[in-house]
Amino acid sequence: MNDAVLSTTQLRPFDTRRAVNLAVTTWFGIAAIGHGIFFAYILAVFYPPIAQSGLYGLQGLHLPAGFREGDTLGNLAAVAHVLLAAIVIGGGPLQLIPNLRRHVPSFHRWLGRSYLLAAVITGVGGLYMTWTRHTVGNLVSQVSISIDGVLILVFAFLALRAAMAGRFAEHRRWALRLFMVASAVWFFRVTLMGWAMLTGGWGVDWESFTGPFLYALGVGQYLVPLAMLQWYFHCQKREAGHRAQLAFISTLVPLTVFMAIGIFAATMGMWLPRM
């Protein structure tokens, strides 16, 4: 009997679907911690001077698109971008927690509306500042950032339309895509600092903030998360094979490790010293 049980256990196939969910849950947990640290940084560094001095509070802050004398509209866009970023960065992970969605649906709905509005305003403001202030990088940087801004607006519209039509499974997919592109600013910082920590900043000209790695990161900050998300959607389908699921896990695990390194590097090198 024991031999039969042992034989059955040994022959039991590896549950790749469960492994996919575990890998995704681990990724989300680490990403949520990273978002939480960045959220605390935004509240601690940007909110107090703006609350005290209004638009002039932008002066002295570590912002490429900070206060500019006489540019009222640009300064308003910069303040709105910074203040609403707290909702996008802090509220995004909360929207994706299933228990909150199931047990506190009213909170989920109101936070979702606030998140959607904040993402749209920051997207529009980001596009405006990118093309009127010429903050960092060059034309390649401006185009890549602008693509992310456009994707934020498109995904927000599609998520809202699906929710209003009662197509909640479709709404969830568009909302997840919106989370990925709205968090691109976080992915950018974490990836850049992780890369700098591991390679010393190969492919980055820090003075002009250009270089081949930055060009790749400019589009990779949203294309890679979107591609992994789409792959995850495929792995959830019944027809998804074990090989596709194993390939997904084998890709996500090292990306998660690199993300954790980037979170540590960004926290110790950028966020914590300024808090």
Q: What pLDDT is recorded for position 9?
A: 42
pTM of the model: 0.89
CA-angle at 177, arms to 173 and 87, nearest 5°: 110
The mean pLDDT of the chain is: 88
* Residues sharing a CB contact under 8 Å with residue 259, sequence separation 6 or more, in sequence order: 27, 30, 31, 34, 190, 191, 194
C-alpha distances in Å from residue 89, one per residue of 14, 103, 105, 186, 262: 36, 22, 20, 8, 16
pLDDT tens, 132-182?
876 667 888 889 999 999 999 999 999 999 999 999 999 999 999 999 999
Q: Are 45 and 100 in contact (CB under 8 A)?
A: no
188, 142, 151, 72 alpha-carbon torsion, rounded to 10°: 100
233, 35, 33, 57 alpha-carbon torsion, rounded to 10°: -170
- What confidence category does residue 51 fall into, taking pLDDT thresholds of 50, 70 and 90? confident
Q: What pLDDT is recorded for position 181?
A: 97
Residue 6 pLDDT exceeds 50: no
Q: What pLDDT is recorded for position 7?
A: 41
Mean pLDDT of 239-250: 90
CA dist 95 and 177 (Å) reads: 13
Q: What pLDDT is recorded for position 61?
A: 65
SS3 210: strand
Q: Give the residue extent of every domain in the chain.
A: 28-274
Range with lowest mean pLDDT among 140-154, 195-209, 234-248 = 234-248
Q: What pLDDT is recorded for position 14?
A: 64
Residue at 128: amino acid letter = Y
pLDDT tens, 125-134?
888 888 887 6
Range with lowest mean pLDDT among 54-58, 128-132, 270-274 = 54-58
Q: Which two tokens stand for residue 84?
A: 């609403």
148 alpha carbon, distance to own chain's centre: 11
Q: Are 84 and 122 in contact (CB under 8 A)?
A: yes
81 alpha carbon, distance to own chain's centre: 15
Mean pLDDT of 52-68: 67
